[in-house]
Structure 1
């Protein structure tokens, strides 16, 4: 057993960050479901593919600066939240096609959260081909005529790219579909990154709220763990005893796509079976709540109200921070900020780090020889 002060303090902090990261991830997942966030990011990715979704020219000279573009695009994100098909006639037609329309879970979540590459390419071919009629043009001729006349009113850049893909396929429908699927896969890889960025931003916001609500002051916690041996030992024992259980929880939530590591934004199936059930989330939340209570009791960081008597003899109730390590308001704010940043890294990061620290702590000290009888 290899143990020292620095390792035990790090283990305690990592365990606390893991607990609150899981809690923030569960809240973030519920928010994502409430606003159908995955479907909205998927729509954004398809808009980038099928429409000329570039508003930088609207700002003129200011469009050269990232600062102004950021807020301008943020405004358009709000517009697209309420009007997802604004200025996007072909995108609307794409979503109204039967192959896509019936992938939604219900009327409240009409747009699907996942679309397979095969479904995308099939839908594109159907739209470009138009209504199929016997003894008429072949599929390749129908697509060539549609692209030549732009009967679907595709935007200029999208039309040019699809024409190039069709020419690269030498007007072969099978090859054309493969090129469409490769295009879709590449864009959805980017969409996965966009969703992870959105998730990390939400985790940062939730992390700050959790840190303030639960008074998770990283600076004060580190000082407590360094100074109080009994508290440190209790926290280490709690972390090492819970590590196997959280291994199963973290692995399950990653596979269910609640926690994000390197998840693609599309799946081979287009159902909602990959989503973890609400009952499972509630069960995980119950376990987290118990462990968070134990951790808080061990650390002893809490707010309290005291009654002071003023000069007039009237009692005044004052509520605030009572722990001796939380006397400086700026240090408390800095401790909360550190906690929020730690939570934004995500539960998979802290779980992996927890496993490595536990393994290192459990390893025999260096220069230890094992003798046999």
Structure 2
């Protein structure tokens, strides 16, 4: 077995980051479910397709700068959170279509979390065909009439793009649906990136809270692992012994896709593969938290109280009493490092833990003595 100080310290830190990343993933998933985040990101992607969603023009000259655009988009995000649809907008008509409306789980979460490309193109075709004023017209003539007169009151850019897709299909309805599905797939690929950034932002915020609550100071923990051989060995033994259990847990709770296989929304991704099944991970966390007691509570440096009797007066000081936590700025830096590590996601640290354990278990080949 190959072992040295740097690898053992890294293995201990990776194990800690994996544990708290799982906890952060639980909290992030609960937040996403409470706020119906996936459905909201899907609505944002469809709004980009079917409505005028470029608000940078409202800022005038300031719209050229990313800083002001960020605040503008943040304000509109808050507005769309409470009022996702404008009155009589094409997006509202799209969501009111039966093929979309009945995909929602219930009245509290009426909007679906994902839509397949086939459902999108079918709904668009029904809306365009149903709005035509031509009596007994074929599907192609009805679509052309609806696009030409814009009976659905679509945004000008959306109307122009759909007309181009219809012309590219040479007025063939089947090919027109294929073109719309390709358009939908491209937009949803970018929407998946938006959700990934949102997930990582939440994990970063949750990571800061976890680091402060449990006092997970990466700098102090690294110093403890480097200085205390017994703690280091116990932590390494715990990480190595728990790797098979983590393999089974990850295979059960982490999937390649979190939505239907036919959906173009939310592709396989490191930050998106975590799937929380009730409170299973909380039980795993509690189990490992108890096991960490053998490692002198290195998973979270305990705060405590010290009594100083020097000078004839007893002074009790509570807070950060560990010798490696005497500098407040250094403690905050350690928390920040922990939060950044947690934001990478549990699958990242699980994969890295497996690689490090495998590397550490590899026995180096003995060197052959060279002839004199």
- Fold shared by both chains (TM-score > 0.5): yes
The Cα shift of 1:299 comes to: 4.4
Higher RCO structure, 1 or 2 (CA under 8 Å, sep 6+):
1
For structure 1, list consecutive stretches of 5 or more residues without a partner in the other structure: 268-273
**1:190 lines up with 2:190 in the alignment:** yes
Q: 1:64 to 1:306 in 2, by over 3 A?
A: same
Give, in whole Å, the separation in 1 of the partners of 2:291 and 2:349: 19
- Which residue matches 2:363? 364
- Which residue matches 2:341? 342
* TM, length-normalised to structure 2: 0.90
Give, in whole Å, the separation in 1 of the partners of 2:106 and 2:210: 33
Q: 1:258 to 1:186 in 2, by over 3 A?
A: closer
Matches within 5 A, 1:14-25: 14-25=14-25
- Which residue matches 2:295? 298
Matches within 5 A, 1:241-320: 241-255=241-255, 265=265, 280-295=277-292, 298-300=295-297, 301-307=301-307, 317-320=316-319
Is 1:189–1:265's contact at 8 Å kept on the other side of the alignment? Answer: yes
Moved more, 170-179 or 129-138: 129-138
- Which residue matches 2:270? none
Is 1:9–1:226's contact at 8 Å kept on the other side of the alignment? Answer: yes
Q: 1:276 to 1:222 in 2, by over 3 A?
A: closer
Is 1:147–1:159's contact at 8 Å kept on the other side of the alignment? Answer: yes
SS in structure 2 of the partner of residue 255 of structure 1: coil
Is 1:203–1:344's contact at 8 Å kept on the other side of the alignment? Answer: yes
- Which residue matches 2:179? 179
- Which residue matches 2:84? 84
The Cα shift of 1:366 comes to: 3.5
Give CA deviations for 1:200-237 in whole Å, capped at 9, x if unaligned.
Answer: 00000000000000000000100111111111111111
- Which residue matches 2:331? 332
Give, in whole Å, the separation in 2 of the partners of 1:5 and 1:275: 32
The Cα shift of 1:132 comes to: 8.8
For structure 2, list consecutive stretches of 5 or more residues without a partner in the other structure: 268-272
The Cα shift of 1:196 comes to: 0.6
The Cα shift of 1:286 comes to: 1.1
Give, in whole Å, the separation in 2 of the partners of 1:10 and 1:124: 53
Is 1:305–1:320's contact at 8 Å kept on the other side of the alignment? Answer: yes
Is 1:47–1:88's contact at 8 Å kept on the other side of the alignment? Answer: no
- Which residue matches 1:271? none
Is 1:26–1:258's contact at 8 Å kept on the other side of the alignment? Answer: no
Length, aligned pairs only: 357
**1:211 lines up with 2:208 in the alignment:** no
The Cα shift of 1:254 comes to: 2.8
